[in-house]
């Protein structure tokens, strides 16, 4: 009896097939695909397998109501008939499905095979490995930067793209602050695009006198780093808890970068001021320069506030205000509070409360007295707290 094996494939991983699928490929008389640029074509050539394209040819016959409802086209129906015809001619045939072969086509092949007394087996790929669509993203960006692609993409370089990466990080932070899962997913995608974009730029610009790298170099570098810095997971080391993991991480990092001899080497000054201040203080604390207790840190804040109030000119006040903010960051660090996130949260609360004040005002804002503003503000603050979850700040 003639036999047809339909093998499901993943275009992004063309050489990856279940063992049963490869067994069918290696033992069949003919491999059939629906297009000459099928992703597995190069693998079939490497395996020295006989294969050909069956595209369906001219449109044939009419479509039944069931065909129309399933989305089957006349071309697909003709291709299904052609595939079954090749089974009768060749013997045992494997047809490699791909992204263009939807469920309606597969069903049409099965119906045609049943009418022609052809035995049909379907080998499904099963669960796709995580990350297959990352490969699709890489291919899309390569197409955008390639011949006939997008002129804007083709003109970009690392410097022109830098600001977009920064913007995407802030938009991600905003989505996280709003606890909006859909927005977090979308913003992570935008940020991921920046990684792939930069890698494609580097690959395209590589030359005899200009080093380059690929997305695999980027991914491989971080994979190697994670494995090296987690010997308690990928090696024989043992740790007592998260604090020891963090300490080991810093030791391993220092060993990897022996050229960094200065206390602040590797701290980027271009980051937001609060994060920059916190990073500098963490380095100083590791070197031994830190407050001995929270009370000492709080006392420093009070002292800096007094110095700010006592300053006699704008320049002195600006300097003292900077010292005051630096001291506040130090207290936040001691309590493992991210100062940037804390300030962003406070700014968000300020915005919401003032919007509530404006909405609650029963007359023009210009006519409100100081006492009116404070009363409306306290009311908005109380309303926000009463409607918040018990553990909200």
Q: What is the pLDDT of residues 285-318, one digit of tens each?
A: 888 899 888 899 999 999 999 999 999 999 999 9
Q: Is the pTM here over 0.75, yes or no?
A: no
Say if residues 70 and 103 touch (Cβ distance below 8 Å).
yes
| pLDDT(338) > 50 | yes
More confident residue, 116 or 181: 181
At residue 348, the pLDDT reads 87
Of 37, 29, 39, 69, nearest to 55 by C-alpha is 37
184 vs 173: CA distance, rounded Å:
8
| pLDDT(59) > 80 | no
61 vs 133: CA distance, rounded Å:
37
Q: How far is CA 166 from the centre of its chain?
A: 15
137 vs 189: CA distance, rounded Å:
10
Place of tokens 């300490």: 247
Q: Where are the beta strands (DSSP E) in the chain?
A: 3-7, 30-33, 51-53, 92-96, 119-123
218 vs 213: CA distance, rounded Å:
7
Residues in the chain: 393
At residue 318, the pLDDT reads 95
Three-class SS state of 33: strand
At residue 385, the pLDDT reads 83
**44 contacts: CB under 8 Å, gap ≥ 6:** 25, 31, 51
Domains 3-123 and 273-337 share a fold: no
| pLDDT(134) > 60 | yes
88 vs 4: CA distance, rounded Å:
10
Query: Which of these CATH numbers, 3.40.50.20, 1.10.287.1080, 3.40.190.10, 2.60.40.1290, describes 130-213?
Result: 1.10.287.1080
Q: How confident is the model at residue 19 (pLDDT cuts 50, 70, 90)?
A: confident
At residue 111, the pLDDT reads 83
Query: Which of these CATH numbers, 3.30.420.40, 1.10.3720.10, 3.40.109.10, 1.10.287.1080, describes 273-337?
Result: 1.10.287.1080
At residue 272, the pLDDT reads 85
Query: Which of these CATH numbers, 1.10.3720.10, 3.40.50.11900, 3.40.50.150, 3.40.1010.10, describes 3-123?
Result: 3.40.1010.10
Average pLDDT over residues 127-141: 87
Q: Percentage of residues in the chain with pLDDT exceeding 70?
A: 92
Say if residues 276 and 325 touch (Cβ distance below 8 Å).
no
287 vs 264: CA distance, rounded Å:
10
Average pLDDT over residues 112-139: 86
At residue 62, the pLDDT reads 55
* pLDDT tens-place string over residues 174-219: 899 889 999 999 999 999 999 999 999 999 988 767 788 999 999 9
Of 205, 211, 215, nearest to 140 by C-alpha is 215
At residue 253, the pLDDT reads 79
Q: What are 218's two structure tokens?
A: 């980027």
At residue 237, the pLDDT reads 87
At residue 66, the pLDDT reads 54
Average pLDDT over residues 95-101: 82
190 vs 188: CA distance, rounded Å:
5
Say if residues 267 and 276 touch (Cβ distance below 8 Å).
yes
68 vs 109: CA distance, rounded Å:
15
* pLDDT tens-place string over residues 222-249: 999 999 999 999 988 888 889 888 888 8
Write down the mean pLDDT value for the chain.
87
Q: What are 359's two structure tokens?
A: 């909405």
At residue 18, the pLDDT reads 83
* pLDDT tens-place string over residues 345-364: 899 899 999 999 999 998 89
Q: Please state the domain extents for the chain.
A: 3-123, 130-213, 214-254, 273-337, 341-387
Of 91, 37, 30, 59, nearest to 7 by C-alpha is 30
At residue 393, the pLDDT reads 46
């Amino acid at each position: 009896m003639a036999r047809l094996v339909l093998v499901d494939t993943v275009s992004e991983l063309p050489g990856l097939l279940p063992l049963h699928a490869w067994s069918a490929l290696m033992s069949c008389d003919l491999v059939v695909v629906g297009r000459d640029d099928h992703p597995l074509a190069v693998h079939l050539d490497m395996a020295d397998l006989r294969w050909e394209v069956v595209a369906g040819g001219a449109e044939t016959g009419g479509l039944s109501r069931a065909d129309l409802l399933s989305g089957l086209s006349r071309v697909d129906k003709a291709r299904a008939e052609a595939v079954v015809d090749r089974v009768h001619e060749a013997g045992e045939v494997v047809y490699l499905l791909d992204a263009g072969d939807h469920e309606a086509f597969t069903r049409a092949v099965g119906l045609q095979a049943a009418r022609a007394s052809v035995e049909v087996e379907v080998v499904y790929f099963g669960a796709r490995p995580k990350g297959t669509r990352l490969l699709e993203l890489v291919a899309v960006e390569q197409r955008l930067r390639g011949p006939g692609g997008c002129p804007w993409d083709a003109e970009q370089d690392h410097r022109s793209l830098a600001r977009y990466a920064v913007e995407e990080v802030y938009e991600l932070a905003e989505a996280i602050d709003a606890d909006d899962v859909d927005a977090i997913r979308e913003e992570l995608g935008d940020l991921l695009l920046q990684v792939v974009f930069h890698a494609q730029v580097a690959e395209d610009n590589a030359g005899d006198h200009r080093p380059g790298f690929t997305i695999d170099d980027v991914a491989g570098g971080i994979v190697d780093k994670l494995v090296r810095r987690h010997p308690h997971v990928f090696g024989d080391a043992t740790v007592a808890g998260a604090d020891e993991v963090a300490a080991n991480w810093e030791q391993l990092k220092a060993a990897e970068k022996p050229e960094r001899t200065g206390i602040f080497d590797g701290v980027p000054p271009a980051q937001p001021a609060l994060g920059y201040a916190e990073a500098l203080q963490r380095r100083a604390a590791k070197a031994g320069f830190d407050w001995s207790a929270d009370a000492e840190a709080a006392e420093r804040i009070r002292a800096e506030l007094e110095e700010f109030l006592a300053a006699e000119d704008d320049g002195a006040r600006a300097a003292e205000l900077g010292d005051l903010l630096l001291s506040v960051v130090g207290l936040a660090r001691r309590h493992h509070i991210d100062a940037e996130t804390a300030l962003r949260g406070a700014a968000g609360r300020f915005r919401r409360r003032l919007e509530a004040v404006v909405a609650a005002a029963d007359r023009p804002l210009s006519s409100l007295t100081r006492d009116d503003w404070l009363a409306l503000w306290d009311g908005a603050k109380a309303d926000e707290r009463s409607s918040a979850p018990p553990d909200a700040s």
